[in-house]
Amino acid sequence: MDLDRAPRFRDLSIDDFTARLASAEPVPGGGSASAVTASLGAGLVAMVAQLSAGRPKYARHEGLHAWATDVGLELRDRFLVLADEDSVAYAGFAAAMKLPRDDDQATTARTTALQAAARTASEVPLRCMEACLELVGAAEALAGRSNVNASSDLNVASLLGEAAARGAAENVLINLPAVGDPALEGEWTGRVHDLLGEIESIASSTREVIAQGEPRDPLPEPDPV
């Protein structure tokens, strides 16, 4: 697959994207699938916020709804960009793997290229995880402060964000050893586990609030995106 000539994933139909995912081609793979999954969760956050806006019952949360709409739409776009970036990053790593090892100079050049590609292939899903933290945070903020008829959609948004973060984490951790930088590997591994802990805690809180079905007090109005 020639990624330079391939359409962006956002420009494919769902059928085309999943067909590519199901093919023998290495990209798109789990990293892109995780990012696309998160984009669906972000879309649901925006949907729930818009289904809540303008309703007298939730009028005291109007600022939150406007903010969550903006956040959901921005994250939806960002995740789709990350889906493309992940495939490009992995393609770069795969290309580096095929570099010759005919002599010491070629072997050194291959190792350098592999380490650089592995760093990019780790950094992209790490950014996806960071965006997932924003996603589940927005969903949690809406829980108990949005249209109760869309509470299941909000729960799904949070679950998708958590699942996407777990998927992205796998891609970070599998690529990090090939970077050849133990200090960076330790730092980013710690960041992965910290992010997962935060995301899981927030997603769990969202589920609890939704299950209780009780309204919550307004949050301080956040700054616009």
* Per-residue pLDDT reduced to its tens digit, 196-218: 999 999 999 999 999 999 999 99
pLDDT, tens digit, 9 for 90 and up, residues 50-83: 999 999 999 999 999 999 999 999 999 999 999 9
Q: Give domain status of residue 20, yes or no.
A: no
Q: Give domain status of residue 2, yes or no.
A: no
C-alpha dist (Å) from residue 148 to 62, 79, 142: 15, 27, 10
Mean pLDDT of the chain: 94
Report, in angstroms and rounded to the nearest whole number, the Rg of the chain calculated over CA atoms.
Answer: 20
Query: Which of 187, 180, 194, 131 lies closest to 160 in space, CA to CA?
Result: 131
Predicted local confidence at residue 4, as pLDDT: 53
**And the tokens for 67?**
């903010």
- Those residues whose C-beta lies under 8 Å from the C-beta of residue 116, and which sit 6 or more positions away, are 96
Segment 90-100 shows an average pLDDT of 92
Considering its fold, how many domains does the chain have in total?
1
Predicted local confidence at residue 1, as pLDDT: 45
Q: Give domain status of residue 13, yes or no.
A: no
223 falls in which pLDDT band (50, 70, 90)?
Answer: low
Segment 4-10 shows an average pLDDT of 76
Q: Give domain status of residue 12, yes or no.
A: no
Q: What is the CATH number of the domain that holds 192?
A: 1.20.120.680
Q: Give domain status of residue 171, yes or no.
A: yes
Q: Give domain status of residue 187, yes or no.
A: yes
225 falls in which pLDDT band (50, 70, 90)?
Answer: low
Q: Give domain status of residue 43, yes or no.
A: yes
- Count Cβ atoms below 10 Å from residue 194 Cβ, excluding itself: 12
Q: Give domain status of residue 152, yes or no.
A: yes
The domain of 31 spans 27-212
d(CA 162, CA 140): 12
d(CA 205, CA 201): 6
d(CA 204, CA 193): 16
pTM over 0.85: yes
